[in-house]
Amino acid sequence: MNVLLIGNGGREHALAWKLKQSKQLDTLYIAPGNAGTAQCGENVEIADNDVRALVEFARQKKIGLAVVGPEEPLAKGLVDALEAAGIKAFGPNAAAAQLEADKAFSKQLMRSGAISTAEGRVFDRFSDAKAYIASRDEPVVIKAAGLAKGKGVIVCDDPAQGILAAEKIMVDKIFGAAGDRIVVEDKLLGEETSILAFVDDHNMYVMESSQDHKAIGDGDTGPNTGGMGAYSPAPVVTEEMMSRITREILVPTIDAMNRNGTPYRGVLYAGLMITSGGPRVLEFNVRFGDPETQPILLRLQSDLLEVLLAVCEGRLEEVFLKWDPRPAVCVVMASGGYPGDYQKGKVITGFKEAEELADVVVFHAGTRQQDGHVVTSGGRVLGVTALGANIAAAKARAYEAVDRIRFDGAYYRHDIADKAIRRKR
């Protein structure tokens, strides 16, 4: 079977790496891909949001399955267009993708389904948002309602910071059109976790838990990024807690989507806060997380292509996933200055030395080939991922690999997985 994978990040390299292992795969195309995906298949110079060109390429190459990685093409209706052309596509259609693309839609859906989340309100005008935030006396979270590539959330310790954040988003347009509307929420306290599940409209298969690290700095300091590292599983998600998450969050969400006339198919990503009162939703994403996908797929022992086909064909009940019991840790190496301005074109060395270590895979994100070298081409450059006998060993192995990789201005957090290690003691 010929497969087309859409996207060019670390998530897509992890997906390509895993898809390449399938016995059902003939040729894997990645559009546009990166220097890492080029090792797994054939990169194609088509932008991931060029719906017409992607559909035409899929027709020409007789693609048996298209796998859409990023959120933007999902929101733009790429799955709808592919299916209209008779091509199987993994991911939600545009109507269902509103769950991530429109936080106001998501908030209303959670209210209708009695799904536990933070109290919040939606605003179209800065003056109204400002008046509401000024009336609060607790920490608030300000979110751009549209797609902001994982960066559209500002956590504020007091209302004054909240007003400034709302102004930056709605007036200064730091996230562009994504900030035309905002959601103002109460700040939830607890420990975050990411839960991903395969969904085929009615059936669901929950994957192993993980935890992302959004903030740029050690100790969760500084502005939010697309994600500076992740690990799987997350010890905060006990067997009992996973049952609650499934019963109180995931199943009601799928039911609410069906009642809303927007049935869901693909990967449902629930970003949760585990509070003293139980799990509460921070956000929903409509695709594999990045960087959570890297440690999750490193642990997956089953054929990923078989699972994706089962979802598309509505037979998820036939699937049984096997997992490596060992935990995995992913450390993101970023360009200096990220998530602000950064330089591109820095030569990267040390791949061979890093992957000589057992149970290490270096997933590419912001990379490209240039004059025979791999160079930086984005903010998040690499996701250095390792398995270990326990979470501490996986962390140590990942950072050992990180130490072998070099590029000018490389930056990374030093405390990925420390929360899990402390919890295990």
* HSE-CB for 202 with a 13 A CA cutoff: 4
- Residue from 279, 301, 278 nearest 194 by CA: 279
- Which residues of the chain, if any, have pLDDT below 50? none
**How many residues are listed for the chain in this entry?**
425
Domains of the chain, start order:
3-91 (3.40.50.20), 125-180 (3.30.1490), 191-318 (3.30.470.20), 328-424 (3.90.600.10)
Are the C-beta atoms of 311 and 90 separated by less than 8 Å?
A: yes
pLDDT at position 408 is 97
Are the C-beta atoms of 241 and 279 separated by less than 8 Å?
A: yes
pLDDT at position 151 is 77
Amino acid in the structure at residue 142: I
pLDDT at position 424 is 67
Q: Round to whole Å and give the CA distance between 291 and 211.
A: 9
Q: Which residues pair with 199 in a beta bridge?
A: 204, 266
pLDDT at position 425 is 55
CB atoms within 10 A of CB 177: 11
For the question of whether the overall pTM of this predicted structure is more than 0.75, the answer is yes
- Residue from 269, 284, 287, 291 nearest 366 by CA: 291
pLDDT at position 176 is 92
DSSP output for 354-421:
HHTSTTEEEEESSEEEETTEEEE-SSEEEEEEEE-SSHHHHHHHHHHHHTT-B-TT-B--S-TTHHHH
Q: Round to whole Å and give the CA distance between 215 and 385.
A: 19
Burial 208-234 (b: 16+ CB within 10 A, else e): bbbbbbbbbeeebeeebbbbbbbbbbb
Cα 239 to the chain's mean position, in Å? Answer: 23
